[in-house]
């Protein structure tokens, strides 16, 4: 039988990306898995081959907070304004509401947040938002339907790509979304990932990296269609898909055709693009190692900035650890005083003082490059330099 998928990239043995290590656990064995990436010829879905249960990845120790970045907060605010002016929903449900950075832009009585990581969900619950510390699935959708009725807008940013059972996700959406409702999904763009050699979009939480082509194939199975596509700079290039039921009379906007053409032109529908990408990733690894080695030869002090889940993939794939990076700085409290997964580099609380006498800063949070370079103007002016690995490893 002819197989309809291809494994095109092997990123080696990796730890779970958001599992920052406490000092007392440094000597314990870390869970590792083989990170390989697959392209499905039929559905056009690109996914990792080894997945973990949601309970393993999203629990009450989850460190990620949307509010840690101005870029994210501004993006949510801008979208909220547009939703209020143009879509005018009466009831909104957010799948993966995190710390409430999106729903806080609306009246409490018109929003429902779903956030399975209880430590994060607590933040909105304490502010009296309607939030549920549960995984999004058919049984939860039925429970919410009984209590709140249908909703006319569902928003989900950087969450659907984390859920393995997409069939359950969309069945649940169909249960709760009114026929005239709008579904807005936002996730990293496969096209931008490939264009920028951003192989660190792949880690255990990012089960899928979607393209328009794969999202369109997926949603049509549930009587839905994409009617608008926005390309965003968020997270190194994301796509916001505006989706409606097929029955709803609403024009398919030009942006949809444009995105489809761009993806076909880049050959996202054929395996050649993925094999070429894999070659570029190997080259990127060689160049990054060379760059770090050269800096160390010159006895330069290097630190990391933004201990992201993405940087877990880069550091472990390239074998860059404590020999090269003295410590990381991060603004997220739950990451501070812990160690990076796999490479065990100390993460310190961000402060300008910690950047004194530093020559090079590896930008783990490259997806917030603009925001961070602006914030660190003084460091750059005084001769400090940033190292970035995408689109090509280089010193900025
Ligand atoms: P993310 O790429 O998974 O969104 O994570 C971004 C990480 O970078 C998060 O831990 C917060 C951190 N960060 C800083 O430390 N300083 C900053 O200025 C920004 C924007 C992010």
Residue 379 is predicted with a pLDDT of: 97
Distance 177 CA to ligand 1 centre (A): 33
308 CA → ligand 1 middle, Å: 6
All residues at 6 or more sequence positions from 123 whose CB lies less than 8 Å from its CB, including other chains: 99, 100
Q: Would you say 362 and 303 are in contact if contact means Cβ atoms under 8 Å apart?
A: yes
The DSSP result for 179-234, as a single string, is: EEEEEEEEEE-HHHHHHTT-GGG-STT--EE--HHHHHHHHHTTTEEEEEEEEE-G
Mutation to probe ligand 1, out of 308, 310, 336, 375 (largest number of atoms < 8 A from CB): 308
74 has pLDDT over 90: yes
Q: Sorting pLDDT into bands at 50, 70 and 90, what band is 386?
A: very high
Task: State the pLDDT at residue 128.
Answer: 92
With a 6 Å cutoff on the Cβ, whether 238 touches ligand 1 is: no
At residue 319, the pLDDT reads: 98
Tokens of 155: 């928003």
Q: What is the percent of the chain with per-residue pLDDT over 70, rounded to a whole number?
A: 100
Is-contact 39 274, C-beta < 8 A? Answer: yes
Q: What is the rounded CA–CA span in Å between residue 103 and residue 93? A: 9
pLDDT in tens, 28-69: 999 999 999 999 999 999 999 999 999 888 988 888 888 888
Average pLDDT, the chain: 96
Q: What pLDDT score was predicted for residue 59?
A: 87
Edge-to-edge strand order for the sheet containing 360-363?
347-349, 328-330, 302-305, 360-363, 385-388, 394-395
Q: Is the CB of 306 under 6 A from ligand 1?
A: yes
In ligand 1, which atom is closest to the CA atom of 330?
Answer: 15
Give percent of the chain above pLDDT 90. 94
DSSP structure string for 255-290? HHHHHHHHHHHTTTTSHHHHHHHHHHHHHHHHHHHH
> In angstroms, what is the span from residue 8 Cα to ligand 1's centroid?
29
pLDDT tens-digit profile of 153-195? 999 999 999 999 999 999 999 999 999 999 999 999 999 999 9
Does 363 have pLDDT greater than 70?
yes
Region of residue 161 (phi > 0: left; psi between -120 and 50: alpha; otherwise: beta): alpha
Q: Is the dihedral of CA 283, 200, 42, 179 positive or negative?
A: negative
pLDDT over threshold 90, residue 317: yes
- Please write the tens of the pLDDT for every residue from 101-147: 999 999 999 999 999 999 999 999 999 999 999 999 999 999 999 99
Could you report the per-residue pLDDT of 281-298, keeping only the tens digit for each?
A: 999 999 999 999 999 999
Residue 111, pLDDT score: 98
pLDDT tens figures, 245-274: 999 999 999 999 999 999 999 999 999 999
Residue 1 pLDDT > 70: no
pTM: 0.95
The arithmetic mean of pLDDT across residues 312-335, rounded, is 97
């Amino acid at each position: 039988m002819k197989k309809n998928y291809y494994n095109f990239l092997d990123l080696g043995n990796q730890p779970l990306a958001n599992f920052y290590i406490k000092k007392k656990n440094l000597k314990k064995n870390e869970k590792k898995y083989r990170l390989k990436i697959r392209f499905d010829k039929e559905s056009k879905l690109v996914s990792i081959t080894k997945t973990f249960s949601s309970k393993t990845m999203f629990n009450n120790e989850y460190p990620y907070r949307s509010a840690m970045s101005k870029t994210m907060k501004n993006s949510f605010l801008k979208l909220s304004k547009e939703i209020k002016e143009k879509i005018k929903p009466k009831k909104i449900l957010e799948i993966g509401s995190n710390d409430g950075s999106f729903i806080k832009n609306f009246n409490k009585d018109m929003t429902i947040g779903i956030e399975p990581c209880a430590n994060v969900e607590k933040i909105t619950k304490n502010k009296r938002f309607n939030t549920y510390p549960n995984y999004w699935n058919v049984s939860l959708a039925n429970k919410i339907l009984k209590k709140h009725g249908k909703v006319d807008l569902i928003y989900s940013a950087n969450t659907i790509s984390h859920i393995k059972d997409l069939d359950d996700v969309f069945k649940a959406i169909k249960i709760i979304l009114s026929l005239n409702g709008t579904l807005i999904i936002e996730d990293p763009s496969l096209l931008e990932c490939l264009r920028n050699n951003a192989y660190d979009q792949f880690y255990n939480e990012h089960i899928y990296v979607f393209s328009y082509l794969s999202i369109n194939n997926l949603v049509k199975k549930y009587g839905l269609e994409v009617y608008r596509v926005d390309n965003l700079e968020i997270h190194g290039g994301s796509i916001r898909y505006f989706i409606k039921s097929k029955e709803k009379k609403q024009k398919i906007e030009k942006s949809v055709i444009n995105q489809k053409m761009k993806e076909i032109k880049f050959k996202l529908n054929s395996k050649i693009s993925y094999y070429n990408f894999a070659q570029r990733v190997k080259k990127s690894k060689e160049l990054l190692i060379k760059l770090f080695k050269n800096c160390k030869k010159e006895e330069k002090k290097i630190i990391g900035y933004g201990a992201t889940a993405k940087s877990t993939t880069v550091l472990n794939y390239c074998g860059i650890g404590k020999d090269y990076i003295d410590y990381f700085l991060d603004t997220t409290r739950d990451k501070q005083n812990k160690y990076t997964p796999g490479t065990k580099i100390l993460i310190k609380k961000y402060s300008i003082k910690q950047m004194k006498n530093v020559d090079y800063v590896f930008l783990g949070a490259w997806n917030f490059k603009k925001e961070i370079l602006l914030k660190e103007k003084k460091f750059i002016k005084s001769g400090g330099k940033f190292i970035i690995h995408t689109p090509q490893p280089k010193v900025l």
